[in-house]
Amino acid sequence: MDRSDTFRILMLGNSFTRANGLPELLAEELSCEVEVHARGGARLAEQLNPKTKLGSQTLASLEAGGYAFVVLQEMSTAAVASPASFERSVQRLASLVRAQKGVPILFETWAFCEGCPRLAALGLAPSSMQDAITSVCRSIADKDRLVLAEVGEAFRKQGFAPRLYGRDGRHPSLDGTKLAVEALASAIRGA
């Protein structure tokens, strides 16, 4: 990819996608335009629902096309709690992206930080939560020939360091967001 070429990215996700200006940092890193369709707590299934504000906006944008890449970021617990639904949503969105000659990028999220109450409620450790996320994301990416941005694995390589997390132990700190941008940019450059 020639960095001098201007291209557009659409990011579909939730608060993990918007955290700490991630879209703006990605746009700066790749010298491109980034549009975001995200709402805190949103699932990819909502992006497909024309009866919701987010879904109708996303479906109209995907139909119009013009995106070189579309980043798909699912709720962080979906790989653990509802992997089949996660896969169905990704498959449907990837099909819509490809119909407009775009490249779908699957954004692998990260495990929650040790000590996070949500992690304890799941009965998992960071490594076992990441194992589940990574396994589901790799399976979907392999089966559907998707580019996978292994953001969660980048968190693992840093030992799920507390400095990567915000105060809630789930959302990223600025350091975590910068790490996510690095993984996303690498995946996009490699596509």
Task: Show the tokens assigned to 24.
Answer: 């703006």
One-letter amino acid for residue 151 of the chain: V
**Residue 169 scores a pLDDT above 50:** yes
- pLDDT of amino acid 6: 82
- Kindly state the DSSP code that residue 113 receives in the 8-state scheme: P
76 touches 58 (CB < 8 A): no
- pLDDT of amino acid 1: 43
Give the domain ranges of the chain.
8-190
Identify the CA nearest to 118 among candidates 80, 173, 153, 71.
80
35 touches 60 (CB < 8 A): no
What pTM was computed for the model?
A: 0.95
**Please, what is the end-to-end C-alpha distance for the chain in angstroms?**
8
- pLDDT of amino acid 161: 98
Summary mean pLDDT of the chain: 96
**Residue 154 scores a pLDDT above 70:** yes
Task: Domain 8-190: give its CATH code.
Answer: 3.40.50.1110
- pLDDT of amino acid 12: 98
Return the minimum-mean-pLDDT range out of 4-13, 111-120, 176-185: 4-13
**Residue 174 scores a pLDDT above 90:** yes
**Residue 5 scores a pLDDT above 80:** no
Binned at pLDDT 50, 70 and 90, residue 2 comes out as very low
